[in-house]
Amino acid sequence: MKYYNLKDPRVITGFRDAVERGISPDMGLFMPECIPRPDEGFFKRLPQMTLPEIGMEVGSLYAGEDIPREVMRQICEEAFDFPVIIRQVDERKHVLELFHGPTAAFKDFGARFMAGCFRYFSSHDDRRRVVLVATSGDTGGAIASSFLGVDGVDVIILYPSGKVSRLQENQLTTLGRNITAIEVEGSFDDCQAMVKSALAGSARRTVVKLTSANSINIARLIPQSFYYYYAISHSDNGAVVSVPSGNFGNITAAAMARRSGLSIECLVAATNINRVVPEYLETGHYTPSVSVATIANAMDVGNPGNFDRFRRVFNDDYGAISTSVSGYWFDDDRIREHIGKEYHRTGYLLDPHGAVASLGLDAYLEHHPGSAGIFVATAHPAKFRDIVEPLTGQTVEIPDNLRNFLAGKKQSVMMKAGPKSLEDYLDDRYRNG
């Protein structure tokens, strides 16, 4: 499998190089030359397959010769050693719960898979790797947990000061060792721009190799497709899939699975008030904007980093996108109202991001009375207790894997927004690079 630069399709590389570089010097994202299509036998076996088995089959198609099949099997078995749960909410709605991993967020899937790839790659040379991450919520915690203690890898996480929950912040800032948290005086978009700029200038560093663990890295994106194969094959009414969308990696992965032959009737791009993509779906015009803070903070993205990839899955054909994807957005008042109403109606406890996806599915089903579907719950409600508990009157139990983070001591580096701030920090830290 070969990968090309979205900004300059003449630049072609392999899976390993695309993963280790993260992004090209001109800030172009890497995209597979084609979306691989498993054979018909794969789709027939799907209902009997485990998630690691699906990951091995699909992941091998994307990695090609850069990761042997048996190594891919081991990476997937180690990465996906926690459950994926599908629950019925009512007669037309199921929920795909992706928050049963170590950091109680769907980011565990991509982060742990990517860490496995890096372990394999680093066993073949001794060059130190520096993984840069911009996070608006759960990405940083998942990356920190997945890469903690990995030999030869430093992880540097940038997050917007005051714009993540306390528990999310503790997941970033309390681990120490090879994990460094940088608290940026700005927005997630500022953090993402800083990471992209640093990666674009990384060629001048010779001692360390910079890469990104955001969903701009193809190794984060690919494994997010695995659970859609699992969900569709293990659910009776999964023809419509509603995805809470911020940086648009998760729904891009769903679109890739659909393009490969997975039977998905329609994708629903559900967002908070940061609605540039729903507006694009309505008008055909894509107009990035400054992100606005909401209670669904992991989705507070005004210029989604994966949107170019999302469009490319559909060959940049607006007609194909608009007929295959529906977009809806909801403000904080609607999100709060839905969390309370759904709990009292069904007993199901939603976090703000899952609530956005649930609202999106409801909006779609209202206009398609013959359809049914799955909405994606990406974070455990315990991460948002201060929001959820007053709306439901229900105490949210904190899982043990999250409880351990509450007692940790915060350690972070304060930094002003802007690419130069991060460049100067990296130059000081890795002066010989």
Mean pLDDT in residue range 259-274:
96
Residue 405 has what pLDDT? Answer: 78
CA distance 72 to 154: 23
Residue 203 has what pLDDT? Answer: 53
Residue 356 forms part of a structural domain: yes
Residue 90 forms part of a structural domain: yes
Domain that holds residue 136: 84-433
Residue 360 has what pLDDT? Answer: 98
CA distance 159 to 330: 24
Lowest mean pLDDT among 44-48, 214-218, 292-296, 319-323: 214-218
Residue 112 forms part of a structural domain: yes
- The side-by-side arrangement of strands in the sheet containing 179-185 is 208-212, 128-134, 153-160, 179-185, 413-416
Residue 9 forms part of a structural domain: no
Lowest mean pLDDT among 142-151, 153-162, 400-409: 400-409
| CB-based contact 277:304 (threshold 8 Å) | yes
DSSP state of 232: H
Residues 313-369: tens digit of each pLDDT: 999 999 999 999 999 999 999 999 999 999 999 999 999 999 999 999 999 999 999
Helices 332-346, 352-367: crossing angle, 10 deg rounding: 80
Helices 188-200, 419-429: crossing angle, 10 deg rounding: 50
- Residue 380's SS3 state is coil
H or E stretch covering 190: helix 188-200
Residue 101 forms part of a structural domain: yes
Q: Quickly state the pLDDT bin for 389 (edges 50, 70, 90).
A: very high
Residue 404 has what pLDDT? Answer: 78
Q: Quickly state the pLDDT bin for 202 (edges 50, 70, 90).
A: low
| CB-based contact 120:114 (threshold 8 Å) | no
H or E stretch covering 429: helix 419-429
The total domain count for the chain is 1
Residue 36 forms part of a structural domain: no
Residue 110 CB partners (closer than 8 Å, separation 6+): 142, 215, 219, 220, 221, 222, 223, 224, 249
Residue 73 forms part of a structural domain: no
Q: Quickly state the pLDDT bin for 205 (edges 50, 70, 90).
A: low
- 126: domain CATH number is 3.40.50.1100
Residues 103-127: tens digit of each pLDDT: 899 999 999 999 999 889 887 676 7
Residue 54 forms part of a structural domain: no
**CB 83: neighbour CB atoms within 10 A?**
9
Q: Quickly state the pLDDT bin for 237 (edges 50, 70, 90).
A: low
Residues 270-284: tens digit of each pLDDT: 999 999 999 999 999
Residue 204 has what pLDDT? Answer: 54
Q: Quickly state the pLDDT bin for 209 (edges 50, 70, 90).
A: confident
CA distance 264 to 191: 34
DSSP per-residue codes, 91-130: TTEEEEE---STTSBTHHHHHHHHHHHHHHHHTT---EEE
Mean pLDDT in residue range 295-307:
90
CA distance 299 to 273: 9
Helices 107-122, 69-79: crossing angle, 10 deg rounding: 140
Residue 277 has what pLDDT? Answer: 95
Phi-psi region of 226 (alpha: psi -120 to 50; beta: other; left: phi over 0): alpha
Mean pLDDT of the chain: 91
Residue 272 has what pLDDT? Answer: 97
Residue 168 has what pLDDT? Answer: 83
Residues 28-37: tens digit of each pLDDT: 899 999 999 9
**pTM greater than 0.85:** yes
Whether the per-residue pLDDT at 92 is higher than 60: the answer is: yes
Residue 161 CB partners (closer than 8 Å, separation 6+): 183, 184, 185, 186, 414
Give whichever of 65-74, 181-190, 296-305 has the largest mean pLDDT. Answer: 65-74
